[in-house]
Structures are given as structure tokens and as C-alpha cells.
Structure 1
Amino acid sequence: MTLVQGLDYTSVFIFGLTGALAASRAQLDIVGFLFLACLTAVGGGTLRDVLLNRDQLFWIADPGMILSACVAAILVFFTAHFLESRLRALEWLDALALGVAVPAGVGVALGLDQSWPIVLIMGVATGTFGGLMRDVVCNELPLILKKGELYASAALVGASAALLAAKFTTDSLIILTVCGVTTVALRAGSIRFGWCLPVYKSRPPRQ
């Protein structure tokens, strides 16, 4: 298994957990759990692979990815009631998943020798699109759109950190670790300490 495949498997499982937690908050049945877990787990990677015109979508090339998401769904179905706050657990798991999925997207793009703007876009898309789909289906305000939240911005900075690291080393493990740590640190700071971007505030028109 390659490093990128390992990252894909990890992000699929963790994002699957977040999709299942969203299903538990919506009080869905087991089929709803499986659907939301799989949708969240493979959404970002699917968009990445389609845009990069890869030979096969990553979960079609390796159906074990879907199995991993289903395991996550079943696990949450039987254990979610033990959590004190499923929303809080979802936010922290989502932050962890973001820190794994962004390096996966960056790694695939770098492996295909894409230009730096495409590397950034693939990192952000892989990290955020599954969660976006999850929140839209559950009729929730997507995390990516919450006021000032360091979410897409955390993914963007993480992908940028990977490009910067690539200037100094060709070791993909170092490059993707820098990407993941940067992404998680920023997202965790937003959750724990309220780090945020400035938001637009309307002003009265000039007379």
C-alpha cells in the first residue's frame, strides 16, 4: 500500500464516522447511516479523481474503501448514544479527517506532476467536499460556510505548506506530514480557541 492509499483509507474511515454521526443526529435508520457515511467518506476523493481524469475512481479501484466507510457507519450506529456531545465529536473527527484528506489530495496531484494551483485546489477539494455534501444532505449549514471558521482556509494553508516543504525536500512523507499537521493545527485552533477570519459587516450607505 502506498502512502497516498493509506491516507485515503484513513480519511475514508474518519469521514465515514462523521457522516454516521450526522446520521445519528438526524435519527436515521441503518441504511441512512450507511448512505451518509459513504457519501461523506468518498465525496472529496471522487471529485478529485474526476477533475484529474484518473483512470479509475479510488474507491472503484479499491472497493475496500467503501467497506471501510460501512464499518464506520455500523460502529457509530451502535455506539453514538455513549457520546456526551455528538456535534462536538463530529467537529473534532472532521478536523482530523481534514488533516488526512488534504494531504491525500495534495499527494495525488503532486504524483501527477500538476502545477501548484491545481495542487492547492485538489487539496482543498479532497478535504472539504465530502463534509460539504454531508451537511447539505442533512440540511445543516456547511462547516465550510460558517462565519469566519478556519475550514477551507485551513485546508488551503495546509496545502500551501506542502508546496513550501517540497521546495526543500523530495521526501513525500515529510511533505504530506507538514501538510496534515498544519491543517489540523489551524482547524483545531478554530474549534478550541475560536480562531477565525474577519467577516464582512454591512455598513449604512453614505448620504
Structure 2
Amino acid sequence: MFSSTSAIIELLGTISFAISGTFSAMQRRLDAFGVLIIAFVTSVGGGTIRDLLIGDLPVAWMRDVQVCLVILATSVLTIFFKTHIKKLKVTLFLFDSLGLGLFTVVGLQKGLNFGLNPGICIALGTITGCFGGITRDTLLNTIPLIFQKEIYATVCILGGAVYLLLLHFQVNTDVSKFIVIALIFVTRIIVVQHKLSFPRINY
């Protein structure tokens, strides 16, 4: 799991979303088992759906037990250190944004490795980045961010388009990955700070 840049990015994305899921579950006052389940589905939800769609079976976390161990360790450490973190909402937001960028790149690259259409690769990147959060929010009985006025999935689509554009102009793959991760992370922060959103459709 840790032998390449892509693997390291996936590891960091797993950790980021495990922290995000753990904080979300703690905010809803779930018990320890519930917290671990939410951390797990947040970390692997998007990647599981992606792998099912492209037929890469068994899905990634079933082939590598280290993924499950990383999620478990991250969640336990997050619970242990929660008393040292005062602003849970800020922490949740930052790790969710970081995970969004990291996993979008993972999904994009996997689509490219399978030789899929660029548009499909962007869709896979968006699914990988967003659907863990959708599963988390659904289990916590919260309307997922992707279905609210807040700009969320669009940031992944923008990042995916930039990634493919950088590759088209033969920018180094690893450099392109880090540029896009930073772009998604920073754009998400700017969007939230300035309360940018699409208009709601009223009935």
C-alpha cells in the first residue's frame, strides 16, 4: 500500500477521512463501535463504489488489511486526542477538505490506469472523493453536503479537469497530483469562507 506516490496519497486520504468520520460521529454522540463504523464507511465508501463500477474486485480495502488497520488506529487516536482539540467543526472541515482532494486524485488516476474516457475519469474522481461523505452523512441522518447549496462535488470536477489538462501538457504526474490536491483543498476553504454557493431551486 505504501510503495508509490499514489499509494501514499491514498493512505493520507484514508487517514483524513477516518478523522473526518470520527469527528462527525463524536459530534452525534455515538458509542465507540458506532464511531468506528462511521470512520470506516467515510474512508472506504467512495473507493468501494468506484471499484464496483469499474469491476476492480475484490474492492481495494478487501485486498489490503492495512487499510482497515490504518482506519482503526486513526479513529482510536482521534478519540483519544479529542480533548486536546477545541474546535471540532474546524478540524472536521479541514480533514474533510483534505480527504476530498486526496481521494479525488486517487479516483482520477485509477480511471486513467483502466484506460477510461477522460469524462468518466473525472466522474470516478468525484465519486471517490464525495461518496464516503455521502454515506457518512446518510448514516448520521444528515443531508449530505453534495445535495445542499454548498459547493462540494463541483470542486472535485474542477480539480479533475485541471489534472487532465496538466497531464495533456505533459506536466510531471506527481507534480500534477499535488497541484490538484492543493487546488481542491484551497478552493473548498475559499468557497466556505466566502459562503459561495449555487442558487437553490425553489418549488
| TM score, norm. by length of structure 1 | 0.91
Distance in 1 (alpha carbons) for counterparts of 2:184 and 2:31: 33
* 1:192 counterpart = 2:190: no
What's 1:205 paired with?
none
Show CA shifts across 1:68-105 (max 9, x none). Answer: 11111101222223332322221121001111110011
Distance in 2 (alpha carbons) for counterparts of 1:38 and 1:187: 23
Tell me, yes or no, if the aligned pair for 1:161 and 1:182 is still in contact at 8 Å. no
Distance in 1 (alpha carbons) for counterparts of 2:105 and 2:66: 20
Moved more, 123-132 or 73-82: 73-82
* 1:4 counterpart = 2:11: no
What's 2:172 paired with?
171
Show CA shifts across 1:126-151 (max 9, x none). Answer: 0000011001101112111221x121
Distance in 2 (alpha carbons) for counterparts of 1:118 and 1:62: 26
Matches within 5 A, 1:56-135: 56-135=58-137
- Quote the offset at 1:2 in angstroms: 2.1
What is the letter of the counterpart of residue 144 of structure 2?
P
Tell me, yes or no, if the aligned pair for 1:98 and 1:155 is still in contact at 8 Å. yes
Show CA shifts across 1:118-172 (max 9, x none). Answer: 111101000000011001101112111221x121010110011111111101632
Change (3 A) 1:133 1:64: same
- Quote the offset at 1:62 in angstroms: 1.4
Distance in 2 (alpha carbons) for counterparts of 1:146 and 1:85: 23
Distance in 2 (alpha carbons) for counterparts of 1:71 and 1:108: 26
RMSD, aligned CA: 1.5
Larger Rg: 1
Distance in 2 (alpha carbons) for counterparts of 1:30 and 1:186: 33
Distance in 2 (alpha carbons) for counterparts of 1:137 and 1:143: 13
What's 2:43 paired with?
41
- Three-state SS of the structure 1 residue aligned to 2:198 is coil
- Quote the offset at 1:181 in angstroms: 2.0
What is the letter of the counterpart of residue 84 of structure 1?
K
What is the letter of the counterpart of residue 68 of structure 1?
V
What is the letter of the counterpart of residue 97 of structure 1?
G
Distance in 2 (alpha carbons) for counterparts of 1:99 and 1:83: 23
What is the letter of the counterpart of residue 65 of structure 1?
V
4+ residue stretches of structure 1 with deviation over 6 A? none
- Quote the offset at 1:201 in angstroms: 4.6
Tell me, yes or no, if the aligned pair for 1:45 and 1:126 is still in contact at 8 Å. yes
Distance in 1 (alpha carbons) for counterparts of 2:6 and 2:58: 15
Residue correspondences, number: 201
Distance in 1 (alpha carbons) for counterparts of 2:37 and 2:52: 21
Q: Structure 2: which 5+ runs fail to align?
A: none
Tell me, yes or no, if the aligned pair for 1:37 and 1:69 is still in contact at 8 Å. yes
Show CA shifts across 1:2-33 (max 9, x none). Answer: 22222211111110001110111111221111
